[in-house]
Amino acid sequence: MATILKINDGENILEIAPLNKEGILEIWTGSEDDHQSWRNVVLDKKDTENLIKYLQEHLEELS
């Protein structure tokens, strides 16, 4: 799986895959030590657009 963002807090990992052709964003989370713990969330194009819009609008607050 290609990854555009990977965050590891020492116990858990969050990975975000690149957008696919349909504009769908796939987010994975799980334990580095337990590959069976991995779960994913898939955002459709509208949810992905809303997430990007939210992050753009609140970028200054987040930094």
Phi-psi region of 23 (alpha: psi -120 to 50; beta: other; left: phi over 0): left
What digits encode the pLDDT tens for the residues 3-60?
A: 889 999 988 999 999 999 888 999 999 998 898 999 999 999 999 999 989 989 998 8
Q: What is the pLDDT of residue 53?
A: 92
Q: How far is CA 17 from CA 4, 13, 23, 43, 44, in A?
A: 6, 13, 11, 11, 13
Which residues, other chains included, contact 12 with Cβ-Cβ below 8 Å and sequence gap of 6+? 29, 30, 31, 32
Predicted structure pTM score = 0.73
Listed by start position, the domains of the chain span 5-62
